[in-house]
Chain A
Amino acid sequence: MKLLTASVLALASATAAFAQDLPQASSQWFTDGQAALQEKLNRQPNTGRAKNVILFIADGNGVASNYMNRLWAGQQEGGMGDDYVQPQEAFPNLALVKTYNINAQTPDSAPTAGAMNTGVKQRFNLINLGENAIHDDCSTVAGNELTLFSEMMSDAGKSVGAITTARLTHATPAAVYAKTANRNWEDEVPADCSAQTDIASQLVNALETGVVDIALGGGARYFVPKGTATPNGGEGHRPDGVNLVEMAQSNGIQYVSDKAGLDATTNDKPILGMWTDSHASYEADRPETEPSLADMTRKAIDYLGQNENGFYLEIEAGRVDHANHDTNAKRAMIDGKAFSDAVALADELTDDADTLIIVTADHEHAIAMNGYCGRGTPIDGLCYDVAQTGIMHSDDLVLGDDGKPYTVVGYLNGVGSVMVEQADGKFTAPEGRPEITQEEAQDIDYVQQSLIPKSSETHSGVDVALYAKGPWAHLFDGTIEQNVIFHVMDYAVTAE
């Protein structure tokens, strides 16, 4: 054994000496590579018990979307983008995650978030019910309710939070606290359904019973009756006439509807905040009166961090997904940057020694990157050619065989299909693919060209990445099933 160890050491030493003698050894790429190697050799697994768990989910932000966000963030800082490191990309542990649902090769956000919050895969379009439950069938709810990570954490004396830029009753945040046969039963269940309540009612119930302590996002209309004004100036949507906002307030829950209100909350009572009647704003459109995802993250950690037993917090960037569905890549990448800003803040506000931070997505989209673009090509624009000399792209646009330029980011299907419905009902492109200028491509409202006409671009089943740091983060490795995330979280908070 001793001999074997000595041999390994000798081999490592010989390899290092050999590497230093290589003609490329003085290259910055080479020395950076050596530094990265050393950083990995120095790494020590954290096997302490996790006091806190933060689960970041950027909805619809698979590997391709994440690449787009990386380049956008880097280019906003004046760089070329590809060498930029998003905060989560500096985390030491990485896995690829398989996102399919029990009965769907292409997943939706309800069962994917449910898998992360319960430890089992679930069926398409329902949330936190077992494999025998059927979508849209209330009679299959009873007996199929799963126990949630939030309930386990609450029982263990920890605090729980859910924050999002989507509606709080939307699939990903709902998976923290709700069990429903249909993700769309946000403020109403079928008349003959008594086995569950609507999702908004379940959230207020979770706040009242102490399973959830802070919930921030959009979606106030599902908490206010039809015909009644919401705190945001719109109109409520609940058909049952119940005012859940008033009910929550009368039960000692602080209710806030803008950033000033959030800043004025105290840390002695649960907090429910909704800035909009439906989804919160895209980051590109967000007024100053509305908290950013980072603002919500700061408040949630400040509030939950009071609990000496720790907390579980799910943080969703919900609108990367929506912008991708619109094939409006620019809003998706801007929301992606807001997401990584929230990740950086959460990392800064917590201690790696006792906080497991997981950064992932629930699924990918039918998004892909075109080539061959030179370095520094704006990720939100047209593809510029690779230059023969130097590093930056040339001034020539790369053209398709039709002689027209194209954007770096594209989608396989969506509203920007090059095939348009004609008077006879057929979908064709008589003029060919539309010409695009750089000004048009970089406009905030530009929708990328796609192939298949669809009124809304689809998800895809492609893997998503997972980045992690903190206690037991090293258990995230290789290619995993999405439900494994729950098992690592659970192990990390209970490890002896």
Chain B
Amino acid sequence: MLTRRNLVLAALAVPLASRVMAERAEAMKPRDLYEKGGAFTERARALDGQRVRFEGFMAPPLKADAAFFVMTQRPMAVCPFCESEAEWPDDILAVYIRRRLDVHPFNVRIEATGRLELGRFVDPETGFLSMVRVVDATYG
């Protein structure tokens, strides 16, 4: 029988189970979100709104107290001869963090856990346009 108490417990249990699963499952990589040509993968669309765990690298933050950082698939090489200005790779992921930004070296692998969010979003502070984010994220 579905009582109010059961309902509340069930509602609590789902995110908890989802969280535990996210932490147990093998970490995803930013590249798992994209098909060749840049469209989202089926897996990405299926996980929209779910808790997920990603491994990658923290690109040098756009500003010191930013609310997010950009996770890259490979360490973010900045090649003056490849690009005439700063250029993001195609397979990136914006990570909106729950707390203060603690900068990690750009070439040290990190993990971030949070809720996957697909869709266009312009960061109000930096103007950074993201098409996919992990929000409410913890990382390290």
Residue positions of A touching B, CB distance < 8 A:
108-109, 171, 183-184, 186, 278-279, 281, 285-290, 321-322, 325-328, 414-417, 420-421, 445, 447, 453, 455-457, 459
| Contact assessment for A457 and B105 in the assembled complex, using a CB-CB cutoff below 8 Å | no
| Contact assessment for B31 and A414 in the assembled complex, using a CB-CB cutoff below 8 Å | no
Q: Give the interface SS of chain B, mostly helix, strand, loop or mixed.
A: loop
| Contact assessment for B36 and A184 in the assembled complex, using a CB-CB cutoff below 8 Å | no
In the complex, B75 has a CB within 8 A of chain A: yes
Q: Which residues of B contact A288 (CB under 8 A)?
A: 36
Cβ 8 A contact of B79, one of A285, A287, A421, A456: A456
Residue of B nearest to A184 (CB): B84
A416 to B80, CA, bound (A): 17
In the complex, B26 has a CB within 8 A of chain A: no
| Contact assessment for B36 and A447 in the assembled complex, using a CB-CB cutoff below 8 Å | no
| Interface residue ranges of B17-68 to A (CB < 8 Å) | 29, 31, 35-37
| Contact assessment for B37 and A289 in the assembled complex, using a CB-CB cutoff below 8 Å | yes
Q: Which residues of B contact A289 (CB under 8 A)?
A: 37
A242 to B80, CA, bound (A): 26
| Contact assessment for A456 and B107 in the assembled complex, using a CB-CB cutoff below 8 Å | no
Closest CB of chain B to A200's CB: distance in Å?
A: 12
| Contact assessment for A287 and B107 in the assembled complex, using a CB-CB cutoff below 8 Å | no
For the complex of A and B, the 8 pairs showing the least CB-CB separation, nearest first, are A287-B37, A415-B75, A456-B79, A184-B84, A287-B36, A325-B79, A421-B105, A456-B77
A288 to B74, CA, bound (A): 24
Closest CB of chain A to B114's CB: distance in Å?
A: 22
| Contact assessment for B82 and A415 in the assembled complex, using a CB-CB cutoff below 8 Å | no
Closest CB of chain B to A107's CB: distance in Å?
A: 10
Q: Which residues of B contact A455 (CB under 8 A)?
A: 76-78, 106
Residue of B nearest to A459 (CB): B81
| Contact assessment for B79 and A322 in the assembled complex, using a CB-CB cutoff below 8 Å | yes
Q: Which residues of B contact A287 (CB under 8 A)?
A: 35-37
In the complex, B113 has a CB within 8 A of chain A: no
Q: Which residues of A contact B123 (CB under 8 A)?
A: none
| Contact assessment for B73 and A445 in the assembled complex, using a CB-CB cutoff below 8 Å | yes
Cβ 8 A contact of B36, one of A278, A285, A327, A453: A285
Q: Which residues of A contact B105 (CB under 8 A)?
A: 420-421
Total A-B pairs in contact (CB under 8 Å)?
67
Closest CB of chain B to A60's CB: distance in Å?
A: 9
Q: Count of B residues near A, CB < 8 Å?
A: 23
Q: Can you spell out 18 A-B residue pairs with CB atoms less than 8 angstroms apart?
A: A184-B84, A278-B83, A285-B90, A287-B35, A289-B37, A290-B37, A321-B82, A325-B81, A328-B74, A414-B77, A415-B76, A415-B77, A420-B105, A420-B107, A445-B29, A445-B31, A447-B75, A457-B77
A307 to B17, CA, bound (A): 69
A290 to B38, CA, bound (A): 12
| Interface residue ranges of B66-103 to A (CB < 8 Å) | 73-84, 87, 90
Q: Which residues of B contact A447 (CB under 8 A)?
A: 74-75, 107
A279 to B36, CA, bound (A): 15
A277 to B83, CA, bound (A): 12
A186 to B81, CA, bound (A): 13
Q: Which residues of A contact B75 (CB under 8 A)?
A: 326, 415-416, 447
Pick from B73, B74, B108 the residue with the most CB of A within 10 Å. Answer: B74
| Contact assessment for B36 and A108 in the assembled complex, using a CB-CB cutoff below 8 Å | no
Q: Known pairs A183-B84, A415-B74, A445-B74. 4 more at Cβ < 8 A?
A: A322-B82, A326-B74, A327-B77, A453-B107
| Contact assessment for B37 and A109 in the assembled complex, using a CB-CB cutoff below 8 Å | no
Cβ 8 A contact of A325, one of B82, B84, B106: B82
A455 to B77, CA, bound (A): 5
Closest CB of chain B to A405's CB: distance in Å?
A: 18
| Contact assessment for B87 and A286 in the assembled complex, using a CB-CB cutoff below 8 Å | no
A267 to B86, CA, bound (A): 38
Closest CB of chain A to B78's CB: distance in Å?
A: 5
Q: Which residues of A contact B81 (CB under 8 A)?
A: 108-109, 171, 321, 325, 456, 459
Closest CB of chain A to B111's CB: distance in Å?
A: 16
A321 to B37, CA, bound (A): 21
Closest CB of chain A to B140's CB: distance in Å?
A: 14
